[in-house]
Structure formats: structure tokens, C-alpha cells
């Protein structure tokens, strides 16, 4: 383009446009007569729209939706097994994302959850449209809690809203006290942090004060629950808090009346 003002007139090789016009030389074919379009399009806009649609769909079903995030091996699935088994009004619905295998979904079904697996293939995070499709396969009747277990990854899932009401980040005591400092964006986005495997804290010489200070510095507003999927410690407090969240949003009444009148089976068509 014109190097002076970006007007879209091609600069001619070997001299300015004025010089060429004055000399009467034949105009050459413009190399790159381009124009500039000013835009403002967010790369996540499509995901965010789908996430908002998911959220309102979950609310129509009276569901409180959680996005459970952590590194691989921090114990998300074991925690969910316990949550599913202890939730006062089962079943809990689970959408579980993994690169391959449906082992997790089978484990969760054994624990009494209604679980559907998303095999993400090479995708390192879940996106809202994948959750929409997976949710269509769940029978949501009588269900009031939906947990979306994200792919084990502390980076990629951070920016993708799935339609959840709350984000829960899991940090296990075996991972190191400074993980919140290493992955600040994910922990900063969390509404609650579950400090898991506290039954192992002593065995791994976990420095609790240091970990809590790091969490408080990165995510000062997040609720903290110290839990153990093995001993069950802390799970009652977590369940209390989740029920409080349901009440605050007025979700419970809807979950058991199922207001918008469609059963949620595999044949359910989504608009």
C-alpha cells in the first residue's frame, strides 16, 4: 500500500507516485494494492456464546454446573467418585474429558454418577460445543449437580468458558506448594480451590502454610477446601458450600420440577 498514509494506492517501484505521474511513465501493475479493515472480534466469541447457551440450558434443568480443573493425577476422578457417592440427592451428572479411553466414565458410573465421556483426541482442553454435545447424551431428569471434569492440564482449559457456574481447581499436596505461582491464570480464575490428598501431607513433607500463602496471593477470593478423596475429609464442607450455591441461584426447585418439559435422553434434539 501507499507507504505514507495507507490509502491503498500502490507505491510504484523506483519512485513515488508523483514522480511517475510527472514523468509520464506507464503505470506498472500494483504489487499489493491493499486496504486495511479495522475490526474487533474476540477469538473466543463463539465459544463464549455457546457457553452462555449451555449455562442457561443447565439452569432450565435446575442444574448447578461445575468446571473441575487440575493437572493430570491430582485426583479429580477420585474426588468425583466420593462426591457422587455422598451427594444427598443423587445422581450427580458428570461430563468427563480425556484424551483417550473411557475408564474415568466407567469408574464414575460405578460410584453412582451418570457419566458421559468426551474423548478429546488431540485436544488439550474442553470447549463449550463439546460440552453441549455431551450433555445431550445425559439423562438430566432428577439431577441437580453437573460436574464437567476437564482434561488434566493447567494451561489450555483456562480461557474456555464451558457454561459452568463455578470453577473448582484441584491442587494435590504431592504437586508442590508453588504450583499456583507457576500457573497463576488458572488458579486466578477459580471460585474454589480443593487442596486434595491431605492424608498424604505428612508423608510428602507438604508445607501447608507456604501453599496457602501462595494461593491467597494468586486467588485471594477463592474458597479453600482441604480434602481427601481417600479419607473423605473435607467433603462434607464442600457439599454444604455447593448446596448453598444452589440455593443462592434458586436452582433446587427447578431441578425437581423440571420446568421446561423435556426429558433428557439421547434422542433429545438441541436447538
Partner 1 sequence: MHELALMEELRRLAVQEARAQGARRIHGLQLRVGSQAGVDPEALRLAFAVVMGAADPQGHNRPDDAELWGGPITLDLEVVPTVCFCPDCSQEFRPVDVIHACPSCGSLASRLLRGRELELVGLEVS
* Footprint on this chain of partner 1 (rule: CB under 8 A): 1, 32-44, 46-47, 123-125, 127, 155-160, 181, 184-186, 216-218, 220-221
Output 22 or 216, the one with its CB closest to partner 1: 216
230, 197 contact by CB (below 8 A):
yes
Output 114 or 179, the one with its CB closest to partner 1: 179
Q: How many Å separate Cα 107 from the centre of its chain?
A: 22
CB of 222 to partner 1, least distance (A): 11
What distances in angstroms separate CA 229 from CA 123, 181, 187, 269, one per listed residue? 27, 24, 20, 36
Copy the grid coordinates of residue 167.
470453577
Copy the grid coordinates of residue 243.
448446596
Q: To 10 degrees, the CA torsion angle through 37, 43, 49, 52?
A: -140
Output 45 or 202, the one with its CB closest to partner 1: 45
CB of 134 to partner 1, least distance (A): 17
CB of 8 to partner 1, least distance (A): 9
Output 35 or 270, the one with its CB closest to partner 1: 35
CB of 233 to partner 1, least distance (A): 28
CA 34 to CA 1: how far, in whole Å? 6
Question: How is residue 145 annotated by DSSP?
Answer: E
Amino acid at each position: 500500500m501507499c507507504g505514507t498514509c495507507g490509502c491503498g494506492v500502490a507505491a510504484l517501484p523506483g519512485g513515488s507516485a508523483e514522480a511517475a505521474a510527472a514523468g509520464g511513465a506507464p503505470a506498472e501493475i500494483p504489487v499489493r494494492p491493499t486496504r486495511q479493515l479495522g475490526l474487533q472480534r474476540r477469538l473466543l466469541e463463539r465459544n463464549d456464546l455457546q457457553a452462555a447457551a449451555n449455562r442457561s440450558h443447565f439452569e432450565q434443568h435446575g442444574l448447578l454446573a461445575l468446571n473441575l480443573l487440575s493437572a493430570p493425577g491430582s485426583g479429580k476422578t477420585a474426588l468425583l467418585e466420593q462426591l457422587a457417592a455422598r451427594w444427598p440427592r443423587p445422581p450427580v451428572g458428570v461430563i468427563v474429558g480425556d484424551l483417550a479411553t473411557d475408564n474415568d466414565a466407567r469408574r464414575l458410573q460405578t460410584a453412582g454418577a451418570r457419566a458421559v465421556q468426551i474423548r478429546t483426541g488431540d485436544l488439550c482442553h474442553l470447549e463449550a460445543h463439546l460440552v453441549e454435545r455431551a450433555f445431550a447424551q445425559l439423562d438430566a431428569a432428577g439431577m441437580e449437580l453437573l460436574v464437567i471434569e476437564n482434561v488434566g492440564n493447567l494451561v489450555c482449559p483456562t480461557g474456555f468458558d464451558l457454561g459452568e457456574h463455578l470453577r473448582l481447581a484441584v491442587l494435590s499436596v504431592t504437586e508442590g506448594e508453588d504450583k499456583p505461582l507457576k500457573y497463576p491464570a488458572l488458579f486466578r480464575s477459580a471460585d474454589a480451590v480443593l487442596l486434595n490428598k491431605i492424608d498424604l501431607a505428612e508423608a510428602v513433607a507438604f508445607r501447608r502454610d507456604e501453599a496457602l500463602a501462595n494461593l491467597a496471593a494468586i486467588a485471594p477470593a477463592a474458597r479453600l477446601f482441604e480434602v481427601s478423596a481417600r479419607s473423605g475429609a473435607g467433603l462434607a464442607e464442600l457439599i454444604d458450600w455447593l448446596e448453598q450455591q444452589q440455593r443462592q441461584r434458586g436452582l433446587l426447585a427447578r431441578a425437581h420440577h423440571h420446568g421446561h418439559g423435556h426429558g433428557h435422553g439421547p434422542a433429545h434434539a438441541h436447538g
